[in-house]
Every structure is written in structure tokens, then in C-alpha cells.
Amino acid sequence: MTRFLVDGPDDAARTFVFAPGAGGSMASPFMATIARGIAEHGIRVVRFEFAYMAAGKKRPDPQPVVLDEWRAVVRELGDGRRLVIGGKSFGGRMASLVADELDVTGLLCYGYPFHPPGKRDKLRTAHLENLRTPALIVQGTRDPFGSRDEVKAYKLSSTINVQWIEGGDHSLKGGLPRAIDLGVSFLTSI
């Protein structure tokens, strides 16, 4: 059903299932850099693409379709207790919507889209208020999808830790080594 790109050892104690942003692919430079950087620390990283991406479409499928894809990927990989799910932007947001339901060990998001750029009133945070799954969000201080000052004002679950890449944009430019280190620290601590 799903084509995966896998980095890291097959027998790793922890697997990070990593989905791309809405306009990216699982093989984008950002995805490859993060996946390989995390895998260098003995963590298995499994990347996948949503069906609309694999079909070459630009617009994401409806949310229920994408969430069903997340469910299918986790079923295919098995044992949610060994899995941390997440992704870049859209991929991480979709993972955050099913993390509690899938009973995974954790949630790791890079560049969470708290709101569309320039539309601060269209928050995508309601489900994050009661999230039970331990989560790390790595965000750039210059991210137009949610800056440090904006995020400080949001009501987020106590299970969510937000870490900042100083000067980073939505792609965390200039801060990928730190983003990898933060991810590894989270993945090995839960």
C-alpha cells in the first residue's frame, strides 16, 4: 500500500514515522536531512508520502482521507508503543490529530502550522489543548505559521514542549543541526 524510505537500523528500539509538508515530498532536502541526522543516532526513521502526493496532485486530499492514511501506516508498521509519529508542517499537524487515538509513544513536529500565514484568527490548535501524547514541536522564531509571541498565548496541553530555532523560518533554515539534536533528545527520552 505505502512506499517507505527508511533510514537507520531495522532493529532500533524506537521508530520515528515522518510525513512531509503539504507541498513537499518524502525525499525533499529537508526531510532527507532530518531523517538521516536522526538515524545517525541509532533511531529508525520511516518516511512516507500521502496518496495525493504520490499521485502528483498539489492539493491535499480531504482531512478524513489523510487521517485514514496515517492510521493505515501505523497499522502497517505495528506496535504503536515503539512508534513516534509526526512530520513537517502538514504532516505533523495530521499526525497530531490521530496521535492519542493510535496510542503511539510520542509526537514530533517540525514547523507546526498553528495558523495559515497572515490568518492568525484561523487557529489549528483546539485539539492540542487536551493532547495526552507526549509531544515536541520544533518551531522557528520567524515562522509565519506561528511565531514565539503568538504561540506563548495559545492554550496547549502540558504534554507539549515547544522548542525554538532562533531566527528560523518555517523550514528552520540555519537551525537544522539543532532541530535534529532536539528531535534525537526527545526520541531517546520517552
What is the model's pLDDT at position 2?
Answer: 52
What is the model's pLDDT at position 161?
Answer: 98
- 33: nearest Cα among 5, 72, 75, 4: 5
DSSP E strands, the chain: 4-7, 15-19, 44-48, 83-88, 106-110, 135-140, 160-165
Contact (CB, 8 A) for 89 and 116: no
Helix ranges, 12-137 (H)? 29-39, 51-54, 63-77, 90-102
Span 114-148, pLDDT tens digits: 999 989 999 999 999 999 999 999 999 999 999 99
Three-class SS state of 118: coil
HSE of 96, CA atoms in CB hemisphere, 13 A: 30
Span 140-177, pLDDT tens digits: 999 999 999 999 999 999 999 999 999 999 999 989 99
- What percentage of the chain carries pLDDT values higher than 70? 99
Number of domains in the chain: 1
Q: Is 5 exposed, middle or buried (0-12, 13-18, 19+ CB in 10 A)?
A: middle
Span 20-30, pLDDT tens digits: 999 889 999 99
Task: Indicate the average pLDDT of the chain.
Answer: 95
> In which domain, by residue range, is 37 found?
4-189
- CATH number of the structural domain spanning residue 19: 3.40.50.1820
pLDDT at 1 over 50: no
